[in-house]
Amino acid sequence: MKYVIGIDLGGTQLRAVLIDHDGDILAYQRTDTAAESGPSGVIAQIDQLINQVSAQVDRQQVLGIGVGTPGPLDPFTGVVLEAPNLHGWVNVPLKAILEERTSLPVHVGNDANAAALGEWRFGSGRGCQDFIYVTISTGIGGGVVSNGKLLLGHKGIAGEVGHMTIQTDGPVCGCGNIGCWEVVASGTALARGATAALQRGHPSLINDIAAGGPIEGWHIAAAAERGDSLAQTLMRREGELIGVGLVNLLHLYAPERIALGGGVTKSMALLEPYMRSIIAERAMRPYQDAVIELTTLGDRVGVIGAAALVL
Amino acid sequence: MKYVIGIDLGGTQLRAVLIDHDGDILAYQRTDTAAESGPSGVIAQIDQLINQVSAQVDRQQVLGIGVGTPGPLDPFTGVVLEAPNLHGWVNVPLKAILEERTSLPVHVGNDANAAALGEWRFGSGRGCQDFIYVTISTGIGGGVVSNGKLLLGHKGIAGEVGHMTIQTDGPVCGCGNIGCWEVVASGTALARGATAALQRGHPSLINDIAAGGPIEGWHIAAAAERGDSLAQTLMRREGELIGVGLVNLLHLYAPERIALGGGVTKSMALLEPYMRSIIAERAMRPYQDAVIELTTLGDRVGVIGAAALVL
């Protein structure tokens, strides 16, 4: 029996997992990321998590460690070039550092690609040759599996599914592009739309639910569930915009299956009818039979995917 | 020495070529497609072209025949499901028919994918692992090479680059989707934009150049070259819209190189500054160094690509 360790390095949370070859979880740990302590503090946290999740097995039975990280990195050298929301992470040779500390092979990968890999090997995409995982939360990211392999492209930077323009004359995205799927359809975009409507004086339950704090996606979903008209309009548009981006992915990559994850998809019951009607109206017929469903790995898709980087 | 025959089956023209392993052309034939004569008439034309281009070599030296066809087909069985602009082409078992007539192996493929394959093996994309060919003419099509292979996707229908939405609330495309790159940036779209502006009474040289006939893309380019203000505005917008779609392809597929062909790109001198400034403004930095250039195979990219289906 051989095991693999996965680490999901996020700006707010750090997750670790020990899985076997079937993706079954033997140990799981989650902690708040000590982001302000810089790379050395966070790496010490990772080190500790590795020891915790692997305590029950012989180290020689562990094949390696996979780490999913946000932001640009060099997947070949395992150097994290920059990690958004993590203080001081510039050109950190994470692979080299962890290999020295643990004496295990370490693979560092983009977190969205890792999640796609996890969902493909152990979740919704199991057995598919052509599969896409999309996460819709603060931003929109994902990974593409084509012909049984992760689509990497030149320099390993393909599959930035959130950064395709779907509104040529739309708002400016954080990436510098205009009208990206992310800047019009992420959870952040949904909240921004609500905030703007409320500032224009539109009456809505959203204000009550947010209770004076900044509007978040789930406030809008909760108001929509209670019949609020503005919130329902916003959720309808959100579902449609998710659908528009998915149609593009169907036409461009022809996946057999797409799995959706991330915070916004927790309100799928509200979004789904609109998302699906856009796909039914807009996708060309041969693409209509692609299966589109929620991640079957849930919140653990990222950390299981990180482990899958080793396999 | 071994040779390959390529056939480019178009609605208006039929081209045939005999090439060697280096893509060098030994024989070339072009004729008007007898589209009104139905599949049997056109297949007789193809048969004749095959005999003409292969007359100078021993048939045993010919490895096979590749045929590029428009519209949906089954690349595995070589059945043309439907060919737009070709009368009566429904479920034509083209591979089986030509194999029986010629006693040579026949490969039938999508014409845009074939062109991409040709440009990749023998043109601009030679030596690239990640490459895209885009043709911008009546419509927008193309093919994607990823990790040294044609990106096919489930059912072989990936890479419909012309049918990604870049204007969510834009015009309806012939494919049924809304605001596709094709419906806003093809030569047809350019001509439609000009026609609409002229009907609104906008003064322009375009009218004089078109001399009362329907407006075509080259009329607009010719007027722009002569300093016509409306035509220059239209060409500027066309260059920008080409750029918007190319940015999407960079972010989604991360090609090392993109080659452009098709009638609209004959006016590249007018389009290029606007196309390139959109890419410089909008593409994320790591994607900026992709090389974007005109096809080096020119008008023969389709027929050479058809031959490349065999290799």
Name the average pLDDT for chain A.
95
**Range of A96's domain?**
3-117+300-308
Is the separation of the CB atoms in A25 and A304 below 8 Å? yes
Q: Average pLDDT for residues B281-307, to the nearest whole number? A: 95
The full DSSP string for B90-143 is: EEE-HHHHHHHHH-S-EEEEEHHHHHHHHHHHHSTTTT-SSEEEEEESSSEEEE
Is the separation of the CB atoms in B164 and B214 below 8 Å? no
Residue B215 lies in a domain: yes
What's phi and psi for A64, nearest 5 deg?
A: 165, 180
Q: Are residues B147 and B258 in the same domain?
A: yes
pLDDT at residue B68 tops 80: yes
Give dist(CA A72, CA A82) in Å, integer.
6
Torsion of CA A78, A84, A85, A88, to 10 degrees: 60
Q: Please report the pLDDT score of residue A86 as a whole number.
A: 85
Q: Are residues B130 and B162 in the same domain?
A: yes
Interface of B with A in 255-294 (CB under 8 A): 255-256, 281-284, 286-287, 290
Q: Please report the pLDDT score of residue A82 as a whole number.
A: 81
Interface of A with B in 231-250 (CB under 8 A): 241, 244, 247-248
Q: Please report the pLDDT score of residue B300 as a whole number.
A: 93
Inter-chain touch B165–A253, beta carbons under 8 Å: no
User: What CATH number did the domain enclosing B215 receive?
Assistant: 3.30.420.40
Inter-chain touch B286–A155, beta carbons under 8 Å: yes
Residue B117 lies in a domain: no
Is the separation of the CB atoms in A280 and B206 below 8 Å? no
pLDDT at residue A71 tops 80: no
Rg (CA), chain A: 20
Rg (CA), chain B: 20
Residue B95 lies in a domain: yes
Burial class (CB in 10 A: 0-12, 13-18, 19+), B145: buried
3-class SS of residue A298 = helix
Q: Average pLDDT for residues B54-80, to the nearest whole number? A: 91
What is the per-residue burial (b if ≥16 Cβ within 10 Å, else e) of B237-257?
Answer: bbbbbbbbbbbbbbbbbbbbb
Q: Are residues A236 and A258 in the same domain?
A: yes
pLDDT at residue A83 tops 90: no
Q: Are residues B217 and B165 in the same domain?
A: yes
Q: Average pLDDT for residues A98-113, to the nearest whole number? A: 95
Q: Are residues A164 and A72 in the same domain?
A: no
pLDDT-derived band of residue B26, with 50, 70 and 90 as boundaries?
A: very high
Q: Are residues A55 and A100 in the same domain?
A: yes
Give dist(CA B130, CA B150) in Å, integer.
9
Number of independent structural domains in chain A: 2
Burial class (CB in 10 A: 0-12, 13-18, 19+), B140: buried
Q: Which DSSP symbol is given to A128?
A: -
- Residues in chain A with CB shorter than 8 Å from the CB of B247 are 165, 177
Residue B116 lies in a domain: no
Containing H/E element for A304?
Answer: helix A301-308
What's phi and psi for B277, nearest 5 deg?
A: -75, -30
Q: Average pLDDT for residues A35-51, to the nearest whole number? A: 95
Chosen for mutation from B237, B282, B289 (greatest number of chain A CBs closer than 10 Å) is: B282
Residue B115 lies in a domain: no
Is the separation of the CB atoms in B258 and B292 below 8 Å? yes
pLDDT digits (tens, 9 = 90+) for B245-283: 999 999 999 999 999 999 999 999 999 999 999 999 999
pLDDT at residue A11 tops 90: no
Tell the residue number behind the tokens 């707010």, with chain if given.
A12
Q: Are residues A96 and A151 in the same domain?
A: no
| pTM (global) more than 0.90 | yes
pLDDT at residue B75 tops 90: no
Token pair belonging to A309: 């980087």
Give dist(CA B299, CA B198) in Å, integer.
31
Q: Are residues A138 and A254 in the same domain?
A: yes
pLDDT at residue A1 tops 80: no
**For residue B136, how many other CB atoms are within 10 A of its CB?**
30
Q: Chain B: residue nearest A242 by CA?
A: B168
